[in-house]
Chain A
């Protein structure tokens, strides 16, 4: 609990200024009335009860940043790091910049950014563990690392890169508004440290002394509509029409009409690769386990549906191939188990996995996990009853079979529902490349492609080995058609997505241009593989081969489609450009971070780049 210093200068104390009743978004700035129960509760900070008599205590507070004045001296970041005892590889507050003009008519605009303690805290809503709380006191959005299990989803949804996923400690932590200082009547440490007259703090929508603007955004700042952030800006000095970022993100900020209007993000041709490449070295990422997890889950859902519905709807030959069905069911269950294990180990703190269900009300992650848990258990129950009917022998006659059927039908609903919730995870406004319905066609498409093809390949292989009756032609046609439909769905989605991204004009376009340049050959190869897979599937479905030919054909189709899916999914994760704030030349520059890891500079902890990436 920080207390005022002896001789604490005036600038460090919270100002008292008349504030409007509502924010520019129309929401009340007063977050709790004196008669509300919450207003009678103390804050408990580090084991002490704190009751500040600040009359503004229940008003939404926020930072004020005067971009005209920021000199990029890093005092704010450093005061924050000092107070919060932060390691060099992350920061609650970071200063980046954009620059434009031609020497000597050159201008650099520094931007110091921490958490904006938003009106619509997407981190809080996205967090599956409910580690976040928006306090009525000062409107602070605080995160509790002791609850967090380190999935990092809040770092995806936040447009400002405020929550920091600490890969060393395995959890997220972030700006806490220096709530202990607020309780002591002091401004946050970063604000008190500011040397440029840039950073200030107070009740939101109030303008500090000698400042003239109260804007919701400056160049480089993401669309405030996403989260209604509690930060206000001044940027009154005239700026160049084009502003470049010093980091490697291929985005710059351009004003459509010279001298007027807002700067909008646009692809930066100077930072995009000019030659088409494979980009294979960059295809791997921290999200690799999610590539496997999503594809495996989609395959399992698709295959389960093919098996269960195929049998119920009389897919020729499937009813008779009991051993095949049983083997496949067991295999799918094992694969799903593995996929779940993989995604759990992807967490910073896997032993807290059970907290994934804490936020069913808001978090798409919670819903996905819950839905997947339901599907997994239904499918598991169905499998047990199917493989070992004796388990239900103690039930009255017929009840066991009814239970099995009920479980199966429920699983056929839960599976697609899981994929629906899974796709919701990626519909993030702060990630324009993802925020498109193509995610849904991709997820359902790959279920439709991989599921039936997995069944067909397994069936044909089993038949060739004499373990199952051969695959009848109509079964090949029907399952093949399903896979073709899936490929069509995926292709349609990809086509529309590419078109939408080209038109989007900003971060989405930049990501798509990366896809067609740096990863250009990979992208073309993936598209080609999808077309080839479609051709192969159509041929096989039409010709309905038998024996070794069927086994070889359908296995090849599965591998071809699977490879296309794998590469496509990897691209999906590595291409996305979040709406993060601009970095600097070294700090928060993804290009330098990669470089430091590659040449070994990252081995020195004081370089501020963590060697490990997962």
Chain B
């Protein structure tokens, strides 16, 4: 089957979704996806970030689809023509969804462990605005302790349902889910139960935002200060491949995650033993540096670039600024008009 996305054509198997086809093409036309996750059955369709315009339904039925379609759950048809980045309507919709996702999202990136590898940050960077139109109080939730390994920060959650699907599909004893409804929907165990299943740690990897983070890594480092390496070990947990990325600071393994591809999806799910308990270099066979996509902030700490020493001349700099400000405010080079002189000297009240 042939489909065309933003003018680029590709042959795909029946059953391929538009998003999958776009990912095969790669580049700018790939729609952002906050809830769809290839390895989780039934995921997708919820965040509405990946909306695209179907300009031609198929060769058999060339009518355009009236509504924008969620590319992650819409199957390709032979001859289908799709506008993604090329469509202004689509760009507008992505901007809208970004705004909706951000209105209640806390502005706590500076203290969020996900910062630097956050899909919502990336989405905002590309489709967000620097101003907010939302002046109401942001929604907050009571903190809930879900055990020693996983930190739940509900205020950051965008309700992608991925973690629920991980619990459903990777474990047989799901103890958390989505409670309540509407804008009060929240991820919870309802009874503050520890989520301890051996594969529960994958909830952290699939979480697109900082709602589920690794408690054993909490506040240890910014992700871009770590050096990621691919590593493996002989893991005895049934179902775990033992292939991971270890995040090092000097000789210390600060964090272990699954290996994520350019769409931030893990190649394989890993067990909690690998993730939380194996933090010694001797636990692992290090394969080599893990590569990230070109624009990832993680590359800030890449392996080759030399950094110049940064000298910050605090006091001097501040005074310099003050001097400049003083000049700007008084604007001595612009002579005052007669009325202005009067106002400045006598006031206008």
Say whether A associates with B: no
